[in-house]
Chain A
């Protein structure tokens, strides 16, 4: 029973992708750029939620940065799927598994963001900011974790994975 990554790697699509020598590096570059935008957007939202920035309401901050966050996540997802086919990684790779779990959790936090930012209609209720702060901080930590795990083969090596 061949391993999944080997099975994917043997697909005609996968082999074709690797034959176009510049394709994988280009996909990786776009992946890194879009992840950068994801992280930056979350940082800007967090700065407002933490109170470091005072510009506008939480809702206005959401309206300003969430669209860019979503576009960036979309590009990261498309390039990520492309990379899964063109340069498949083994499910036994501990770092890759960690990345997938962290990404899943980050996606949940990201989906919750527009909700927690909009609950605060006009007045800055203390409770609203606490919830928003928790979700926004979690989103940043999780996306950062997923980013590091993306290149975290050394962690897997240390754990013997």
Chain B
């Protein structure tokens, strides 16, 4: 499989095509929820209702981008490991992951109290802001990965 990806221009291009479309969907869906948490959009929409609609698509798209990403990585694992853009993507995804865990297991516990409020507690706003910043940066570093000059 790794050899096919490494040697076939079609294989890599096909994975790349799906990977970018999937990550676009991940960003778009997460951005909707983040904008709600920050308080700049959909403030009349209960947070729980928005989450319920947004998150399944987000997870599905993320799974697709992770699988395509992993397959592309196996084709050139050594090269990607020293690629600064790729390294930053991994770091940022880890930060985003921790952010999600903190939000889900701590902040979200009390959601019933502020579900319908236009203004969400500070912890929720921070989670939304960190998430949005991380995912925007991930897309930028993802592009940077393709342009990285190996010394």
Contacts and interface: CB of A to CB of B under 8 A. Distances in A.
A111 interface: no
A151 B20 contact: yes
A153 B13 contact: yes
Interface string B25-63: 111110110000000011011000100011001000000
A147 B140 contact: no
Given A25-B143, A44-B53, A151-B20, A36 B10 contact: no
Interface stretch (A10-18, A26-34, A125-133): A26-34
SS class, residues of chain A in contact with chain B: helix
A117 interface: no
B contact residues, range: 20 to 34
SS class, residues of chain B in contact with chain A: helix
Contact of A38 (B13, B17, B28, B49): B28
Interface stretch (A1-9, A47-55, A101-109): A47-55
Contact of A33 (B13, B17, B136): B136
Interface in A103-153: 144, 147-148, 150-153
B17 A152 contact: yes
A144 B31 contact: no
Contact of B23 (A36, A38, A52): A36
A40 B54 CA distance: 9
A68 interface: yes
Contacts of B144: 25
B3 to A, nearest CB: 18
B118 interface: no
A154 B20 CA distance: 14
Contacts of B31: 36-37, 40
A147 B41 contact: no
A32 B147 contact: no
Given A40-B25, A40-B32, A33 B42 contact: no
B151 interface: no
Interface of B: 9-10, 13-14, 16-18, 20-21, 23-29, 31-32, 41-42, 44-45, 49, 53-54, 57, 136, 139-140, 142-144, 146-147
